Structure 1
Amino acid sequence: MTSSLHPAWDFAREIRLILLRFVAFAILLANLLLAGNEEGEGARLVVVVSYFIISVAAITTARYIPGRSRLKTLFVVLDALLVALILYGHILTEPVARNHNLTTTSLVVAFILLVHVGLKLDRRLVLVFSTIVLIAWVSMLVITAVRHHNTADAVSRLASLLNQDLGLTVSFGFTSFAIYLFARDHDRTRKEALKADQRRLNLSRFFSPLIVSELQERGEALGLERRNAAIMFVDLRDFTSFAETVPARELASVLAEYRQLVSHTIFGYGGTVDKFIGDGVMAVFGQPRPTEDDADRALACALELVEALNEWRDHGVRNGYRALDAAIGLHFGAVVGGVLDSGCHSEFTVIGDAVNVAQRLETLAKSLDSPLVVSSELLARLRKTVPCAIWFPKNGVSLPGRRLPIDIWYLRRESGVAGTSDPDYDTGRVHTAF
């Protein structure tokens, strides 16, 4: 059986199911105390004591050894054998001339334990329990017919077999079959839920919760499409040399903190983490669903990342690490995005010239000693006023691998957003909309 989405719920359900065992135990105990037939009292006592021991063992294993399928199967087999003994145990203790019809107590216990097994929602256990009980039940019917008509011909024995008890056997079989179908459907639903939960977990590493929901709803419909989007690249300077000087565990901790900070900030502005490349992060705003304010959200996210990564760097320096400055490149343009199938692995990604430009701008930010470089194309797409900061323009910048130059605006390191810089910093700075 597949693992549960919530193992704690499984234990709570198991405890509730155990209550059914004690209902059956109470019925057996009442039958032992109130029955007036002394001939079968010994057999009933054995049944009650055996059932109590099995119930205590089931509770103990559910509490201290959960999830053991073999133990669950063992207890189901023991329950089934005990039901068979309860159903027709009096055949072995009473004279042949006695009426060997089923008692109310035996029927109630049989159906209660069938429900108990069915509520485990494991079709294999339902099949094991019902098969053992039905085989024993039919066998007992045959034994009863033979004992009462041991000198009759085969037709008479067959006629005596077709009685009310056989009808109850058939009813038990139909009930078992219905419970089996229910458990099978639940098992399929559970597997699908586990797969969906795993897909959501994988998607949540890259997408904001709203986009995760859309991806799950649309699924394979997310084919490659051409649309406009804002592309962001974030990278750390001198991270390679830093990685060579620190222990692997500390390196993993620093990288995890950095990725978590960047991805959470991106998700907070409705962006998508397209991929992690070492200490580099590629993010997209406008995929898989473009909106009118993609450029505004991308720029606001980049500015917040500048401040957040500066604080993260300073915290690392106070803890004895090398100062790790971040560089961000931001561009807006046409991309082709969607689920890209590469045979054994499919991924949601974007490709195009805009992606290359954003990556070149992030590299340019390092050479300019800037925390953020933004293309004029992205600024032209803004629907709101440009956030107030000390912006520096640079026109006609040539990017490797690109024929046409590009105009950019950038921040100088430690200049920050408005309110954190020196008002007499430098001429040529820009505070307002372009």
Structure 2
Amino acid sequence: MASPLPDTGARSDGMFREAHRRALQGAGLVRAVLGILLYVVIAAAGSDLQPDEIAVQRQVEAGKIFVIVFSLIGLMVHVLARKDIGTLVLPYVTVVTDATLILGNLAYNHLTTGIPGNMTFLFPVIWVVPIALAANAIYLRPGLQIVATAIYLVGIPAISLAAGYVKGDDRVQAVLPLLSSLGQNPNEVRMAMLVASGLVLVLAAYQGQRLLGHAVHQMALRLNLTRYLPQELAPVLSEGSFEELRAGQRMPVALLFVDIRGSTALSGAMDPAALARFITAFRRRVARAAAQHGGIIDKFVGDGAFVVFGVPRPGEDDAARALACALTLADLVERWNAKRGFDPPVRVGIGVHCGEVFCGVVGDDDRLEFTVLGEPVNVASRLESATKTFGESILASSDVIDAAGEDRAHWREVSTEPLRGVGRSIAILAPLAVDAGAPAT
């Protein structure tokens, strides 16, 4: 048995997954471009270093290696996200890799220069941390940002402590190897990193705004669709699939009609308030059975309903789900009788059939309506009406029994005569197991 159609929550999950995939693509591309630009800036800043400025030269070389790897990782993320590979784990892999590169670069600088831990923030690589954190914002995952921040809050102090501290006049001597890193060119590198952080945050804000706009658009679309589509159908329709329905199409579906027998007598015996509660309770049971088996309630008409299986996308189990829905609904009505003690008991007639129909949204913008048309609709309706004639609660055509792959041993043939208004003979069957709730003839 197929599961019911996906709900709005599932659609939202799909929307956010797609947003995350696109965010990964964008973040990867941004990383690649930033890496190239930073390489150019770092190379330019280190071009006029003197031969004796060994400490700064080592930082420049380490910085070049860092931004090259940073850029390559960005390209890898972009390609994998575009192919929808590893979209759930790629952000975490990227965050850990970034932190490893940055903290490893920082530890290397301390080791090769001998600069103590209280001078850590003089190293240009520290300025890459805001860029990395800003880039994480593009992923739209608060938990990821918390993890990244925690890594740096632990890693940087740990490296600083390992490098040791100096006090007093010793600090002046310790900073001498880095004096040239405080000149105009190195400061231009720092400004470039600051600008890069700002640009990445602008991109993150744009990404969030675009996602919000898409969500608002989809919500407005679905609210508009609920004006004239079955309420179960609107949440699962994309704008594209709605346009397909608007154009109309032929498709194989399974159909179920249900109606309360003797409703005229029931309505005459109830006051208006009680009758309203009764019809509402009946419709609630129809909706429960339809939802359980993935059916779409095309419409309620008085004390009857028309349920369609296979919209908007036909499935191989549509017929089986329609028959299962009929059995479930008959059982729900029987339990309703036992619970409420109706006298006389509530009786229903259910007709089930399948076939190719026209399915679409018809009418102008002032009055649109979801419609299913074709001979199979007429046959299903006639089967429901025939339950009165044959004294059965459920009647199904041989077409739907065969399409569902049902064992004929569980069904008995009631008639092979043509139904009223149907030009061909159809074998009509009733389930052997269902006798409760059968409508009176």
TM-score range, shorter chain: 0.3 to 0.5
Between structures 1 and 2, the one with greater helix share = 2
